[in-house]
DNA sequence: CTCTTTCGCTACGAGTCGTAGCGTAACTCT
DNA sequence: AGAGTTACGCTACGACTCGTAGCGAAAGAG
């Protein structure tokens, strides 16, 4: 889902993309990497509004036409450039649910503190409100990467006995899906809002208070179902 | 804080701005209103990325130079155009804290559902990460308008006895301020994230579940302090 | 060696930006 | 009423960005 005309296939050979199946000169994987690096660098220096395709091409030492051969618009380029940053997110096992949540909150906050992330993320979300293709790209490249952590943390807490296990029936499954969505929106939303809108630091003290609130709230939600 | 060179003063006379004190032709208040209306209309049709100053000027039937005499950039214009929408937000007394929160959540969600709001809000926040002046403008024009509702709802709940009253000491005041900030970020963040990032509806059922979570969490937070 | 595709490069029309200059309109003060 | 001051509409402008087209050269596949 990266390039414009070619199909990207897994398993590049010798630093080049596309192992076989097509003839002709293959696309340079180095160029791809250089372009994405240049995009992130430009985001840091210029921000979203002043970033131009020509500038990115110059930084990547690549012709502007090469850029347009792979990405149709600035939006899609930036989504791909930022998406890889979300691969860093992990959920190390800290022993209990509370510590796991605090860890992921701080990790997410550290990611949002990076200038290239903060300036790009909101901008592409804004554009996605009037561009369905972009919305889907963001969902698969960014949102799903994050939501996976919630599912993972939930399962881990269930194994520890900190959360009740899922019932097999459809009713329970629907309830579980609603919970995951809710938790995801609350965590990601609160962290983003504090960091980018309120503009105040997401530090360990805040993370601890927030986690207390979330866990207490989950208990109430559980009791009501 | 609206115009570029002149000081806006309250109490216009006869549809014109600035009652007295300065000489010369006064700025047209009708033009201001027409420009802001045109900006919102253009946001609906074009979105943030394709909105141009020339287009807004044409819609408002105003010269482009008039636009630049009042707003230095597209960012500031859009902030002012969207800010007034947040004046609609109120906190009607529904009798108990739970209903008050659900009400404001749904009201905020309805505001975010409007295309001109959703497409503009995230965009200006994105730009504000690299523009301090814009950040302050957003804070005073949008964020403070929302936070006021949290303070108001909290005081009302305290009068009802649903929340403990503030202690007079500095420690208690700091704790109260932290709570207001936390509640604000959680509510606004979660609603924005669900509506704009997850792209799922903020309906009455979601609002009820979210409110249950929040109130339960507040209880836990309270017990720990 | 031939075929195919990508590459860098240049050039281009279209569109936007933000400003300057001008004559005119609107309002205040004397 | 007249003078002074400021905002307005209009036109024009250079600078910039966009996205594309056309070219010859480079890089791999068969």
CB A108 within 8 A of CB A145: no
pLDDT, tens only, A55-68: 999 999 999 999 99
Interface residue of A113, A131, A220 to substitute, partner B, most B CBs within 10 Å: A220
> Does residue A20 reach within 7 angstroms of strand D, measured from its CB?
yes
Crossing angle of the two packed helices B204-224 and B97-113, in degrees rounded to 10:
130
Cα distance from B172 to chain A (closest Cα, Å)? 16
Residues of B in Cβ contact (< 8 Å) with A198:
143, 181, 184-185
User: What domains are there in chain A, each with its CATH number?
Assistant: 29-72 (1.10.10.60), 83-224 (1.10.357.10)
Least reliable range by pLDDT among A17-26, A135-144, A171-180 = A17-26
Q: Tokens in use for B47?
A: 């979105």
Residues of B in Cβ contact (< 8 Å) with A218:
213, 216
For residue A108, the model assigns a pLDDT of 97
Q: Is B47 in contact with A118 (Cβ distance < 8 A)?
A: no
Report in angstroms the alpha-carbon separations of A88 from A110, A188, B160. 11, 16, 47
Burial (CB count <10 Å: 0-12, 13-18, 19+), residue B55? middle
Mean pLDDT of B86-115: 96
For residue B7, the model assigns a pLDDT of 43
Q: Is residue A113 scored above 50 in pLDDT?
A: yes
Mean pLDDT of B94-102: 97
Q: Is residue A19 scored above 80 in pLDDT?
A: no
> Does residue B28 reach within 7 angstroms of strand D, measured from its CB?
yes
- C-alpha span between A124 and B127 (Å, rounded): 11
Q: Is A221 in contact with B216 (Cβ distance < 8 A)?
A: yes
The three-state DSSP-derived secondary structure of A6-32 is CCCCCCCECCECCCCCCCCCCCEHHHH
Residues of A in Cβ contact (< 8 Å) with B214:
213, 217
Q: Is residue A9 scored above 50 in pLDDT?
A: no
Q: Tokens in use for B57?
A: 């000027």
Would you say how long chain A is, in residues?
Answer: 225
Mean pLDDT of B92-97: 96
Q: Tokens in use for A157?
A: 């807490």
For residue B223, the model assigns a pLDDT of 81
Q: Which residue of A has its CA nearest to B142?
A: A197
How many CB atoms within 10 Å of residue B90? 10
Mean pLDDT of chain A: 90
For residue B21, the model assigns a pLDDT of 63
- In this complex, is the C-beta atom of B143 within 8 Å of any C-beta atom belonging to chain A? yes
Crossing angle of the two packed helices B170-192 and A204-224, in degrees rounded to 10:
60
For residue A16, the model assigns a pLDDT of 40
Q: Is residue A130 scored above 70 in pLDDT?
A: yes
The three-state DSSP-derived secondary structure of A158-206 is HHHCCCCCCCCCHHHHHHHHHHHHHHHHHHHHHHHHHHHHHCCCCCHHH
Q: What is the full DSSP assignment across A103-165?
A: HHHHHHHHHHHSHHHHHHHHHHHHHHTT-HHHHHHHIIIIIHHHHHHHHHHHHHHHHHTSSPP
Residue percentage of chain B with pLDDT more than 90: 84
**B225 confidence band (pLDDT: 50, 70, 90):** low
Q: Which residue has the higher pLDDT, B46 or B1?
A: B46
Q: Is B181 in contact with A200 (Cβ distance < 8 A)?
A: yes
Mean pLDDT of chain B: 90
pLDDT, tens only, B129-163: 999 999 999 999 999 999 999 999 999 999 999 99
Least reliable range by pLDDT among B69-73, B92-96, B165-169 = B165-169
**A4 confidence band (pLDDT: 50, 70, 90):** low
Q: Is B131 in contact with A47 (Cβ distance < 8 A)?
A: yes
Q: Is residue A11 scored above 50 in pLDDT?
A: no
Q: Is residue B5 scored above 60 in pLDDT?
A: no
**A32 confidence band (pLDDT: 50, 70, 90):** very high
Q: Tokens in use for B9?
A: 């003063």
* Ramachandran angles phi, psi of A67, nearest 5°: -60, -50
Cα dihedral angle (B38, B43, B44, B46), rounded to 10 degrees? 110
Least reliable range by pLDDT among A200-204, B18-22, B24-28 = B18-22
3-state secondary structure of B28: strand
How many CB atoms within 10 Å of residue A26? 16
Residues of B in Cβ contact (< 8 Å) with A136:
none
* Ramachandran angles phi, psi of B106, nearest 5°: -70, -35
CB A222 within 8 A of CB A166: no
Q: Is B139 in contact with A199 (Cβ distance < 8 A)?
A: yes
Q: Which residue has the higher pLDDT, A16 or A95?
A: A95
Q: What is the full DSSP assignment across B123-167?
A: HHHHHHTT-HHHHHHHIIIIIHHHHHHHHHHHHHHHHHTSSPPPP
For residue A168, the model assigns a pLDDT of 85
For residue A71, the model assigns a pLDDT of 96
CA A77 – C1' D19 distance (Å)?
15
Q: Which protein residue lies nearest to nucleotide D3, measured between its Cα and the C1' atom?
A: B24
Q: Which residue of A has its CA nearest to B185?
A: A190
């Amino acid at each position: 889902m990266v390039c414009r005309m070619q199909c990207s296939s897994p398993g590049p050979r010798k630093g080049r993309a596309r192992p076989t199946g097509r003839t002709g000169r293959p696309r340079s994987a180095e160029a791809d990497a250089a372009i994405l690096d240049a995009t992130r660098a430009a985001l840091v220096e210029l921000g979203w509004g002043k970033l131009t395709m020509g500038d990115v091409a110059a930084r990547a030492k690549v012709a502007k036409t090469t850029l347009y051969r792979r990405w149709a618009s600035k939006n899609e380029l930036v989504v791909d450039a930022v998406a890889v940053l979300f691969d860093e997110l992990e959920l190390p096992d800290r022993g209990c649910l509370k510590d796991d949540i605090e860890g992921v909150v701080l990790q997410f906050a550290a990611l949002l503190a990076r200038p290239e992330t903060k300036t790009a993320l909101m901008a592409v979300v804004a554009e996605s409100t009037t561009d369905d293709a972009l919305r889907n790209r963001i969902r698969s490249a960014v949102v799903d990467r994050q939501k996976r952590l919630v599912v993972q943390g939930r399962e881990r807490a269930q194994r520890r006995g900190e959360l009740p296990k899922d019932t097999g029936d459809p009713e329970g499954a629907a309830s579980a899906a609603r919970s995951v969505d809710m938790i995801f929106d609350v965590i990601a939303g609160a962290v983003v809002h504090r960091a980018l809108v309120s503009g105040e630091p997401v530090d360990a003290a805040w993370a601890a208070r927030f986690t207390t609130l979330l866990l207490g709230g989950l208990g109430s939600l559980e009791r009501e179902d």
